[in-house]
Amino acid sequence: MSPIRFIKDWMLPLSMTSGVLIYLIYINIPVLAPAGPYLHRTVTILQPLLLFIMLFLTFCRITPKDIRPRKWHRGLLLFQSSIFVGLAVLLRLLPDFHGSVLIESAMLCIICPTATAAAVVTGRLGGDISGLTAYIILINLTAAILVPAFVPIVHPVEGITFFTAFSMIMAKVFPLLICPCLLAWIVRYLMPKLHRRIMRYDNLAFYIWGFSLMLAILMTTRSIVHSTVPVIYMIGIAAVSLVCCVIQFWTGRKIGKLYGAHITAGQSLGQKNTVFAIWMGYTFMTPVTSIAGGFYSIWHNAYNSWQLYRKRKEKQESL
């Protein structure tokens, strides 16, 4: 097997391992410490830029008429919304519950929107990219309404009203969701030659996703290493995020199977925008819950690694 083929086949686990190793090497070389703030700023700029490019490439491959609701969207939205609201009500009824941080972590993992990079994995698995992209839009709008409406019930944040929180979430969502869409369709209809050239690079989004994943795991490792959370809580949050990950992939595939879209629905519900989840944890909930987003990133990417390996194995066996 050639090195390029090896990297392509094992992109996801290589990216995850590289992210962990790079950060662990960095913190064990004291001379690199002064560069920390600059490196952190660089990563925080690169991450949204890479997501923007990946979503732009995705929208280049679909037309406006493809972005329409599917029947399975309703089931997924109902699942996420009802579980999130139910957990919020539970916390309201049990204000002195000692495990409230764990319930908040579950709320965060459930309502967190689908990752923009999910389109890359869905395409590799043979799913419906346009259906998943439509769900990304729907779940982001749903989260923008439900989070400010229900989080203050269980975790009031002084000075943050519904409209303030809604505006904050939309400010995070709009540039990375709507702008790539508009730009892609401008290129499609006004610059057809450029659009055809872009379409030639089938694997570009895949390689960008691999690099973006490395940065995401690097930042996850950083947050876990520097966390001051007691070990018992960290274990509990890790377990909660794992359970949420398993339930959502399983539920998504079961709902999607009813409509012949088990792969797409599974990725739509299971693969999360964990960077957004970490931000929501810090901004609207008990800050320690942001760790749930970091752990979830590990779980859903580990599962995606297995899915891609299985898909590649099936393809080889069919030849």
Q: Split the chain (319 residues) into runs of 10 and give each run's mean pLDDT.
A: 70 84 89 84 85 85 85 95 93 81 92 87 89 91 87 72 79 80 89 89 80 84 79 89 96 95 94 86 80 89 88 76
Taking the C-alpha atoms of residue 133 and residue 136, their distance in angstroms, rounded to an integer, is 5
Return the pLDDT at 159. Answer: 66
The predicted model scores a pTM of 0.86
- Determine the Cα angle at 132 with ends 289 and 163, to 5°: 50
Return the pLDDT at 215. Answer: 86
For residue 246, give every residue at least 6 positions away whose Cβ sits within 8 Å of its Cβ, in sequence order, or none. 299
SS3 string, the chain, reads: CCHHHHHHHCHHHHHHHHHHHHHHHHHCCHHHHHHHHHHHHHHHHHHHHHHHHHHHHHHHCCCHHHCCCCHHHHHHHHHHHHHHHHHHHHHHHCCCCCCHHHHHHHHHHHHCCECCCHHHHHHHHCCCHHHHHHHHHHHHHHHHHHHHHHHHHHCCCCCCCHHHHHHHHHHHHHHHHHHHHHHHHHHHHHCHHHHHHHHCCCCHHHHHHHHHHHHHHHHHHHHHHCCCCCHHHHHHHHHHHHHHHHHHHHHHHHHHHCCCCHHHHHHHHHCECHHHHHHHHHHHCCHHHHHHHHHHHHHHHHHHHHHHHHHHHHHHHHC
Taking the C-alpha atoms of residue 102 and residue 88, their distance in angstroms, rounded to an integer, is 12
Nearest-CA neighbor of 117 among 129, 101, 103?
Answer: 129
Return the pLDDT at 152. Answer: 79
Return the pLDDT at 291. Answer: 86
Return the pLDDT at 1. Answer: 58
Tokens of 256: 């999607």
Tokens of 242: 């794992």
Taking the C-alpha atoms of residue 285 and residue 106, their distance in angstroms, rounded to an integer, is 12
Tokens of 195: 């659009």
Tokens of 218: 């690097």
Backbone angles phi, psi at 29, to 5 degrees: -120, 90
**Count of CA atoms in the C-beta half-sphere (13 A) of 146:** 24
Return the pLDDT at 301. Answer: 87
